[in-house]
Structure formats: C-alpha cells, structure tokens
Structure 1
Amino acid sequence: MPLLFSTIKALPTPLDDHLAKNALQPYFRDALAAPVSQLQLTPSQLQYAIFNYLPNWVNKLMWLRNKLVKIAGFNVTESNMVPPSDDLQVGDQAGFLTVIKKLDDEIISYADDKHMTFYLSVKKCENTVVVSSLVNQKTRIGQIYVNCILPFHYFIARIVINNAIKANRI
C-alpha cells in the first residue's frame, strides 16, 4: 500500500536560506519538497497554485480557528483575500500573508501579531518546489498555539501540496 503523501518529502531544517536569518527562539521550522511538472511556473505562480485552492473543510477549520484565536488577541482575517493574480508582488496580500520578498527562484510572505510571526517561503529548485515555514513564537500563548496546531499543519500542508500535484497545477 503506497504512502498517502509519497511524492512529498520532509526536508531537514534549512539553516542557510532566507528564512533562517529570521529565526528567533523559540521557533518552529519545517520544509517540504514536491515535484513540479509545470516547469514554466514561477515561485509566485507555484504559491498561488498550491494555496489558493484550499479544500472547503480547510476553509471551515480556518473560520473556526479565527473565531477561537481572536479571543486570545491573534490577528485574523475576515475574508480569504484571494489575490487577483498569480503574479504576486512585494506588498501584495496572499490570504492572510503579505509578500515581503520576491526573487527569481523564491517568494517569501509573512504575517505578524503580538503572539507570533509566521513566514512562508515557496522556492523553485529546477523540477521541485520547496515550501518552507517558520514561526517565531513571541509569547507563551504563541508557543501553546503552535504546539496545538502542529498536527493540523502537518496534515493540511501535505494535503494542499498533494492536491496541487493531483490537479496538475504545479
């Protein structure tokens, strides 16, 4: 029986990339690699193709999450804020994230509030995309939150990447 996400590989924590220099203790960091068959796609287009097609059940979980964490002082978005284009530029909103750096091979976005700062990197490496996240936990509430959502993060990140592969969007 094949593994559920056999084409998606967890990578060792990158220590020398653009996100690494933003890491502040305590933090959570992960990186996933997946094959890309649409080799003409830019990192911006890859980010769009992966994260702008969330399953309805994920959107419902995010709605519930927003209702719960707003009470604890987390910043939440009231709408999906789908970008009007897959050509994201610095300053553009992509979901709850803001694009802060755009390079030829990588796009980096982030969100910040009093409990944590979240970074997302989508990097194209030949025929592979590496999706990496970094969460700096600023408060005890931020640490508790990250520990509570890690099982969801693990599964949802792989689901959305896998869905993009199956739909031939990446």
Structure 2
Amino acid sequence: MNPKVKETAIPAKSKIAEDIPGAYFYDCFQTPFDHAGLSAMQIYMNTFAKTPAWVNALMGIRNRVVVLFGLKNVGGMKALNKSKSAEDYQVGDKAGIFSLVYKSDEEVILCDSDKHLDVKVSVCKQTRDGQPFIVLSTVVHVHNNLGRAYMVFVGPAHKVIAPAILAKA
C-alpha cells in the first residue's frame, strides 16, 4: 500500500456513514489531497480514470467468472464518459460501473445493486488540522448466500484494490 494511503474509520459526518448499520462489509481509506477547487465528483472521475491496469485486469477476470453464478458483468473501473463533465452528472446517472445516488460538492456516493448485494462507494473531501485529504469508503449489504460467498473473495481483495485506486488520486 502507498504509505500516504491509510485505512481509517468512515467519517461520521459523511452521508455514507448512514449506510453502515446492518452492513456485511465496509472499509475506508484516506490520502492527503489538495482538493481546493475540485468537486467530489471531479475527484471521483479523475481518480477512477487512473485505475491501475492490474485492477482492470482483475475486473475482467471477475466479470467472466461471476456471470457463471448469476452476478452481472459490471465492466471496467475506467469506463467513464470522458465527454461528460462532473457538473453535468445528476443523481441517477451512470458514472463508470456505478450509478450516482448522492452528490454534493463535498461527497459523492455511487452504487451498484443486484439481487445478491448492494455496493456503495463514497468519495468525500475532508480537512483535518488544516490538512486536506480525500476519503474513499465502501459499504456492502448482502441479500443472500451468493452475495456472502462473493464477499469471501472480494472483501480481502478490496483491502488491496481500494488503496491502489486511491493512491492514483
């Protein structure tokens, strides 16, 4: 893990913190980041557009395997509409592999749901002791045994993938 990326608690004042009760899995990572003049949506777009190639390769393998078990192929992490500006995104719009469910200047929450699980991802701007940073939080609610089985593999991998994505911010 990038030494500047640190695992942390989901910020209590972030909107995604409301989704923690009953969650099967959640994690949160932060990194120093001068976010002056950037919206949370722009940070999400910039960060996920730089997803490491090895993460996209893993997503490709994931997509080929999970369709055999009734989960959907979500595509690649870099699948963002480059012609659409951050300001143009509205709640309900697809933004890469996720759908936008909450948008403010300080935080965006994106979601992917199916009958097996709901995944929410937040990018949140924070400042503590004068130091600006960004926080990447993930909260997962599972609905059945297939969702739980999926998370047996994805949970540990996520602890490596999320910081790798955040390190590219």
How far is 1:24 from its partner?
A: 5.6
The normalised TM-score by structure 2 is 0.85
- Structure 2: runs of 5+ lacking an equivalent: none
Tell whether the 8 Å contact from 2:25 to 2:155 is kept in structure 1 after alignment. no
1:145 and 2:142 are equivalent in the alignment? no
* Worse-matched range after superposition: 58-67 or 110-119: 58-67
Q: 1:16 to 1:143 in 2, by over 3 A?
A: farther
Which residue of the partner structure matches residue 29 of structure 2? Answer: 32
Q: 1:140 to 1:111 in 2, by over 3 A?
A: same
Which residue of the partner structure matches residue 77 of structure 1? Answer: 74
Opposite residue 154 of structure 1, the aligned amino acid is: K
What per-residue deviation string (whole Å, max 9, x for no partner) do you get for residues 37-56 of structure 1? 34221100110111112222
Which residue of the partner structure matches residue 168 of structure 1? Answer: none
* Worse-matched range after superposition: 92-101 or 76-85: 76-85
Q: How large is the Cα RMSD of the aligned pairs? A: 2.0
Which residue of the partner structure matches residue 135 of structure 2? Answer: 130
Q: 1:37 to 1:21 in 2, by over 3 A?
A: closer
Tell whether the 8 Å contact from 2:23 to 2:139 is kept in structure 1 after alignment. no
Query: For 1:121, what is the secondary structure of its paired residue?
Result: strand
Q: 1:100 to 1:44 in 2, by over 3 A?
A: same
Q: How many residues align?
A: 161
Which residue of the partner structure matches residue 101 of structure 1? Answer: 102
Opposite residue 46 of structure 1, the aligned amino acid is: I
What per-residue deviation string (whole Å, max 9, x for no partner) do you get for residues 43-87 of structure 1? 001101111122222212111101111111112235653123340
* Worse-matched range after superposition: 18-27 or 54-63: 18-27
Q: Percent identity?
A: 29
The normalised TM-score by structure 1 is 0.84
